[in-house]
Structure formats: structure tokens, C-alpha cells
Amino acid sequence: MGKLFIVPTPIGNLEDMTFRAVRVLQEVDFILAEDTRTSGKLLKHFEITTQMHSHHMHNEHKTLQMIVDRIKHGENAALISDAGTPAISDPGFLLTRACVEENIEVDCLPGATAFVPALVNSGLPNDKFIFEGFLPVKKGRQTRLKLLAEETRTMIFYESPHKLLKTLQHLIDYFGEERQASVSREISKLHEETQRGNLKEVLNYYTQKPPKGEIVLIVDGKK
């Protein structure tokens, strides 16, 4: 029986790719990539020629059994996402669960993920925290925010740049404008930035300076 490797890839700076990640991607029988065009650039940079297949949220249900069967018949597979650790707000959970259910060994390599440096950089308490990922866009958003308004642990959110202002305003509506927060964007990239302050101050900053790039929003818990 083969094995499934979960392989984190850099979220920006290619120097964050580990030696082990490169070796695993070179040695497996095939690679499952969220976007083969994006991952193709990464593989080319590290001179990795392993066969690559598309595996994303729109086809993962259809291809799941085929992948499991290949691994059960002795092939080793590696799963990567466009950036960061697979299954963290990216495809990966369904395949991992299917492999576990079939007693296939799963090996998740340590590596890049956006929320850890953002949490540490925030200066907010990080002994206890919760990862919320992306808030619901419409249905369930208000219900979730009402529950989180009483959360005492530091909260971690992912957000797209064109929705950040709306989300900050919603957080002010439910948490109050004095709640401390931190916005990290373009982590490990050339124009990396972390903006700290209360929610009102952060909203004012990005109202005057529209955000770009990948964003991690850290919000203090209720005191």
C-alpha cells in the first residue's frame, strides 16, 4: 500500500520551501495540485518533474475514489495547494479523511501556513486562540458574529482584500470599535505589512489605503 503526503508550499517567499518538501515531491508517483498552472511554476523552480494532476474543490468528490485506489495499489501521492498547508481553508480534508478510513498512512509535513506568523506578529494573546477561516458570506454570517462577540480567545480570520472593509465594519457592529485587531497581508512577500490598532483605527487605515493581497485578520477576544 502506498502513502499520502500532505506537503505545505510557500505562501510567498520561495525560500520557505523545505528540503524535505522538495525531496518528497521529487520521489512520489504523482502530485495532486489545486491549480496545476500555479503549482507548475513552483515545480519548475525546484526542478521537480513528477506527474501532476488537478485536485480542487470542484472535482475532489469525483476524483476521490480513483486517488484512494491508486494509493491502495502501491503508489505514493503528494497533495499540495496553491500556497500554504493543504486542508487549511483549501482542499485536502476529504482526501485525508478517505485515506484514514481506508487505513492508508497519511504524513503531513510541517511548513508554511499564513495564520501562524500573523498571530505571532499581532501582539495579541496567542496562548489560546481559535481559527475561523473565512466567515460565511451571507447565510449564517450574523449568527456566527453574534456567537463570536462573546468569544474570549483570540480569533483568526482569512479575508479577501475587496471584502476586508465590510468585514471590519461588521466586526465593529458586533464587537465594538475599541476591540483590538491586527491585519497582516502579503506575508513573506516583498510588500508584507501588518497594521495594528482597534477595529475603528484599522478600518480607517484601510479605507484610506485600499488593501491588496492575501489577508489574515486577528481579533482580540472579549475581556
List, for residues 22-53, the tens digit of each pLDDT value: 999 999 999 999 999 999 999 999 999 999 99
Q: pTM value?
A: 0.92
Q: Is the dihedral of CA 212, 216, 222, 223 positive or negative?
A: negative
- Residue-wise pLDDT for 146-179, tens only, equals 999 999 999 999 999 999 999 999 999 999 999 9
Residue 139 has pLDDT above 90, yes or no: no
**How do residues 68-102 score in pLDDT, each as one tens digit?**
999 999 999 999 999 999 999 988 999 999 999 99
What confidence score (pLDDT) does residue 66 get?
A: 95
Query: 117-126: per-residue pLDDT in tens?
Result: 999 999 999 9
